[in-house]
Structure 1
Amino acid sequence: MTPPGAPAPFSRTAAVRSFTVDGTVQVCRDFPPATDAGAGAPPIFMVHGFRGDHHGLLRIVEALPCHRILVPDLPGFGAGAALPGPHDVAAYTAFVRAALGNLGLGPDTVLLGHSFGSIIASHLAAQSPELISALVLVNPICEPALEGPKGITSKAAELYYRLAAALPEKPGMALLRSPVIVRGMSMLMAKTKDPGLRRWIHGQHDAYFSAFADRRVVLDAFRASISATVRDVAGQLAMPVLLIAAERDDIGSLAGQRRLAELVPDAELHVLPGVGHLVHYEKPAEAAGIIEDFLSRRHS
């Protein structure tokens, strides 16, 4: 029985597909359409955020039944093997480019990125616009992490990751995977007042937030997450772009999201009230409805 406030168990099935990038085996969940009602709907390739894996986007996947949806684990996270080189924005962008080709996706593909995934997705879209037809960014990283009123939180996170890097391997890994710190991060990000949903969100972070290959991967990825933004490439985005922002996002301010929308040549900005950086957990159906409306009008 599903506890009050928690989502129903995920029910959509996927094929697990593997492919090789830089000599490493990578994994992608490939969800066929769950209904025949959306004939002709474009496939959607989704990129998850920092320290997550494909599980974090499953509620949005379930709320988009008309589409074929592909969700990989980023290299070094979940079932994705660590890459031989640095795990920076360039490497992750190259990974997405390789995945689109290896999985046989065509130029009608819609690319979606959440949080850190929005940085990766936007950089791929700026560099290779011919590979996709539209770009959807959920909780986009619109401004440098160390700027603005929430900069003190980002600075505290930076000190945490620097300490984990400075410690010997075993205590460094223990710090990175500390259940207390993971729970603290989850409590900070969750804005819902529904106790059942909050417990479910904390359980998701407990289960998947420490599923990384090694310390090098997570430290590289953290540095990447604070070193780049969507804003860096906003003016180069040549396709229709949907920005789904959140009223209470501690990582991307509303003012920053509005500035980002002004920089993108063809952008639509939608702000979800009462939610923070966990749109994919707290308001997936609302986000999916905005995505479907956008694609019905703008996808070509």
Structure 2
Amino acid sequence: MGTEWTLDRTFDSPNGTVRWARSGQGDPLVLVHGWPFSSYIWRDLARALSTRHTVYVWDLPGYGASERYEGQDVSLAGHQQVFASLLDHWGLERPAVAAHDIGGAVALRTALLSGRRFERLALVDAVAAGPWGSPFFQLANRQAPAFAQVPAHLHEALVRAYIADGADRQLREETLKALARPWTGAHGQAAFYRQMAQAHQRHTAEYEDRLGELDLPVAVVWGERDRWLPLQRGRELAERLPRARLHVLEGSGHLVQEDAPAQLAAVLGDFLAR
């Protein structure tokens, strides 16, 4: 995948063109990013894990390098539909999956509502059961049209501050710039608030009472200092899943891929090797 993070393949999904990439050899592993990030957050983990796995990365519709447009379905239900279609496109019947933030809800919906089977599942600081969303996220969800009209320079400052708040330590400027870039400019700003406007608790409520049916090994991995989804949410999630084990990453916030990449690589590598 190189020093520069590029997704060199495309898939025409039901909700726009999705960019994706594949690397390595071995049992298949799909990495699913969350809000407001992109597959870029998995760059180091993908390279590390590709020594033993065929690793698939992709940008959700409306995120990163994937297509965005007015009227696009970027709800959790829409992402579920796209993920199921991608699994068919890749010919993967039972991959391992690691999912972060709303990627967790996308993976859970795909398993529980689309009936797709995973070999094992890692839920990393994952949106899984309500209520969810930081205070700012909930505010912007209610007032998305107003936020979409914020002057561009103020919007960019807001996006950078919001992303930076996900980490427990200061992000490198190149990392912050790469994560914020897709959300700037007229199209990026519209896409940012479109995602927020379509975020509904009902899309996790639809499967919450079925979490106990998830009969596969699950690693619940959580940053000890996550301000967006506190550690207690991770503990509660692990208790609701019959074959789950909780792994707490010390000194890490919500964006564990940046705060504790070595710890995360070790936990995922061990979990996938079992």
Q: TM-score range by the shorter chain?
A: 0.7 to 0.9
Q: Which residue of 1 aligns with 2:96?
A: 110
Matched, 1:70 2:39: no
Aligned equivalent of 2:152, options 174, 184, 187: 174
Q: Output the amino acid matched with 2:109.
A: H
Verify the 8 A CA contact 1:129 1:238 in the aligned structure 2.
no
Per-residue deviation, 1:62: 1.9
Q: After the TM superposition, which residues 153-168 of structure 1 pair with which residues of structure 2 at under 5 Å, given as runs?
A: 154-166=134-146
Matched, 1:52 2:27: no
Q: Which residue of 2 aligns with 1:42?
A: 27
Verify the 8 A CA contact 1:12 1:62 in the aligned structure 2.
no
Q: Which residue of 2 aligns with 1:268?
A: 245
RMSD: 3.1
Per-residue deviation, 1:81: 2.0
Q: 1:288 to 1:225 in 2, by over 3 A?
A: farther
Verify the 8 A CA contact 2:33 2:99 in the aligned structure 1.
yes
Matched, 1:137 2:123: yes
Q: After the TM superposition, which residues 13-24 of structure 1 pair with which residues of structure 2 at under 5 Å, given as runs?
A: 16-22=8-14, 24=16
Residue 8 of structure 2: SS of its match in structure 1?
strand
TM-score, normalised with respect to structure 1: 0.77
Q: 1:249 to 1:105 in 2, by over 3 A?
A: same
TM-score, normalised with respect to structure 2: 0.84
Q: Which runs of 5+ in 2 are unaligned?
A: none
Q: Which runs of 5+ in 1 are unaligned?
A: 1-8, 34-40
Per-residue deviation, 1:106: 2.9
Give the structure, 1 or 2, with the largest relative contact order (CA under 8 Å, sep 6 or more): 1
Q: 1:23 to 1:120 in 2, by over 3 A?
A: closer
Q: Output the amino acid matched with 2:167.
A: A
Q: Output the amino acid matched with 1:174.
A: A
Residue 246 of structure 2: SS of its match in structure 1?
strand
Verify the 8 A CA contact 1:145 1:226 in the aligned structure 2.
no
Query: Between Structure 1 and Structure 2, whose CA radius of gyration is higher?
Result: 1
Q: Which residue of 2 aligns with 1:202?
A: 176
Q: 1:144 to 1:13 in 2, by over 3 A?
A: closer
Mapped to 1, the partners of 2:5 and 2:59 lie a distance apart of 16
Aligned equivalent of 2:192, options 208, 218, 221: 218
Q: Output the amino acid matched with 1:136.
A: A
Mapped to 1, the partners of 2:77 and 2:130 lie a distance apart of 17
Per-residue deviation, 1:183: 2.4
Matched, 1:279 2:259: no
Verify the 8 A CA contact 1:53 1:78 in the aligned structure 2.
yes
Tell me whether 250-259 or 200-209 shows the greater mean CA deviation: 200-209
Mapped to 1, the partners of 2:31 and 2:176 lie a distance apart of 22
Mapped to 1, the partners of 2:100 and 2:163 lie a distance apart of 16
Verify the 8 A CA contact 2:100 2:124 in the aligned structure 1.
yes
Q: Which residue of 2 aligns with 1:6?
A: none
Q: How many residue pairs align between the two structures? A: 269
